[in-house]
């Protein structure tokens, strides 16, 4: 029997491992499970009871996710789901893969009047973005894409969702620690 190459093992490991058993990592480098590829109109969400990704909603009116979107294992946000993340990268990522990321900022968001903050993160593997260390380093066009997405989202989502602000890396780390306390 032939041995697997190291390039295959991480994909197979992630494909068959229940996401709720994935380790968090730490506040400097953490795991993110990709739910929605950049550019998609399909909103997938991990269903921990079933252990699979489910199609939650299809956006319309040309609303697409500006960046990859996912969740951080071993965290619990105020909505009783794992903490959400926008993964800012120079390429779309496939649903269901796990990516090591580092925090660079925080989106302060309310959904139906409840806090539903999102981490802004950069994949460790995307060396083209290694110079981005904090939200202030993000190109204006990236921040504009996020604001435009949240400006269009209420009409496509059929309920109130608001972007209140974009905060720095320190705020992201505090949010990670806060949600870890609930999740572990």
The pLDDT tens digits for 108-118 are: 999 988 999 99
The residue length of the chain stands at 184
In a domain, 15, yes or no: no
- Owning domain of residue 167: 31-183
Counted domains in the chain: 1
Closest CA to 178 of 29, 20, 33, 27: 27
In a domain, 151, yes or no: yes
pLDDT tens string, the chain, 184 residues long: the values are: 343 444 443 333 334 446 777 889 999 999 999 999 999 999 998 887 777 889 999 998 889 999 999 999 999 998 888 999 999 999 999 999 999 999 999 999 999 889 999 999 999 999 999 999 999 999 999 999 999 999 988 777 778 899 999 999 999 999 999 999 654 4
In a domain, 13, yes or no: no
Closest CA to 78 of 47, 114, 126, 127: 114
DSSP notation for 72-129: -TT---TTSSPPEEEE--SS---TT-EEEEEEEEEEEEEETTEE--EEEEEETT-GGG
CATH assignment at residue 107: 3.90.80.10
In a domain, 10, yes or no: no
In a domain, 21, yes or no: no
Q: Measure the CA dihedral 93/98/102/107, to 10°.
A: 70
In a domain, 118, yes or no: yes
In a domain, 71, yes or no: yes
């Amino acid at each position: 029997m032939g041995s697997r190459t190291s390039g295959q093992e991480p994909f197979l490991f992630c494909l068959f491992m229940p996401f709720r058993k994935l380790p968090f990592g730490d506040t400097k480098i953490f795991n993110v499970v990709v739910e929605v590829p950049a550019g998609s109109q399909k909103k997938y969400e991990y269903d921990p009871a079933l252990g699979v990704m489910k199609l939650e909603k299809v956006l319309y009116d040309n609303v697409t996710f500006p960046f990859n979107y996912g969740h951080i294992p071993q965290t619990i946000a105020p909505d009783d789901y794992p903490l959400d993340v926008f993964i800012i990268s120079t390429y779309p990522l496939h649903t269901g893969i796990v990516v090591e990321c580092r925090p660079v900022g925080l989106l302060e968001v309310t959904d139906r009047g409840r806090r539903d903050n999102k981490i802004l993160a950069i994949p460790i593997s995307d060396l083209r973005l290694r110079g981005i260390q904090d939200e202030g380093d993000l190109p204006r066009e990236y921040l504009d894409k996020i604001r435009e997405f949240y400006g269009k989202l209420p009409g496509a989502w059929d309920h109130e969702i608001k972007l209140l602000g974009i905060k720095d890396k320190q705020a992201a780390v505090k949010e990670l620690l806060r949600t870890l306390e609930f999740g572990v």
